Amino acid sequence: MRRLLLLLAFLATPAVAEDLVLGLSQNRIGITANFDGSEILVFGAVRRDAPAPGDTPGVIVTVTGPAEPVTVWRKARQFGIWINTERVDVDAAPSFYAVATNRPWDDIISDTEDLRHRISIDRAIRSVGNAVHDSPNFTAALVRLREQTGLYQNAVSTVTLSQATLFSTAIALPANLTEGSYAVRVLLTRDRAVVAEGTATIDVRKIGLERTLYRMAHDRPLVYGLVSIVIAVTAGWAAAALFRWARG
């Protein structure tokens, strides 16, 4: 009877509702000719309708760039030269992806929850219907190459969480960013399950002359081609004239 009463009392106790409030140090990034990267500070707080439970929650922050199809090739040496032999077509891979946590990965999220919410880098990449028997190795190669250039980042235990309420982390954005809208997600976890989620966006655009040339190349390719030819001819003529002048 006592155990039954304790169980009923536990079930009658309402769970603490938690929500996320988040902010960004900047929500617009302009790409210019001398753009060498940037850094985004993601910060916020956990909002509750009752005192926080005693355990420390998990906090996961992700930043996702525009998705794009990618073809990954395998090279093999044949007849003394290296050639492309096999390929895997990845349906959609983020052009940029960073994931940061406040604790070790296995402590804050289960594999089932990771699959459901597509949080880890591997789960953020969609590659289906490939006939190559070891297609996961192709995906792993894509992740490895993009990690080397800073386009994919796995920053475990870099999120600061104070008093189980205030959180913050810095995400480094490399210079080779793709233009578009970048999605920011913050997920709160308890018992390795997601209990709350907050989202925001970062707008990454070319500005100035770079933006003008980009728009011209896509909207008026014929004009862009003619302008490129004129610039190339003019630059060649100017270089030749300068060389003749320097020779006396």
HSE at residue 218, side-chain half, CA atoms within 13 A, is 5
Write down the pLDDT at residue 13: 44
Positions in the chain short of pLDDT 50: 4-14
Write down the pLDDT at residue 103: 95
Q: Selecting from 2.60.40.10, 1.25.40.10, 3.40.50.300, 2.60.40.3880, what CATH number does the domain 15-206 have?
A: 2.60.40.3880
Write down the pLDDT at residue 9: 44
Write down the pLDDT at residue 51: 78
Tokens of 179: 């233009």
Q: Beta 193-206 vs 28-31: how paired, if at all?
A: parallel
Residue 53: how many other CB atoms lie within 10 Å: 13
Write down the pLDDT at residue 184: 97
Domain definitions of the chain by residue range: 15-206, 208-248
Instruction: Kindly calculate the radius of gyration of the chain based on its CA atoms and give it in whole angstroms.
Output: 25
Write down the pLDDT at residue 3: 52
pLDDT in tens, 199-241: 999 999 887 655 555 565 666 676 667 767 877 777 778 777 7
HSE at residue 223, side-chain half, CA atoms within 13 A, is 9
Burial call 144-168: b when 16+ CB within 10 Å, e when fewer: eebeeebbbbeeeebbebeeeeebb
**Closest alpha carbon to 53 in 150, 155, 190, 187:** 190
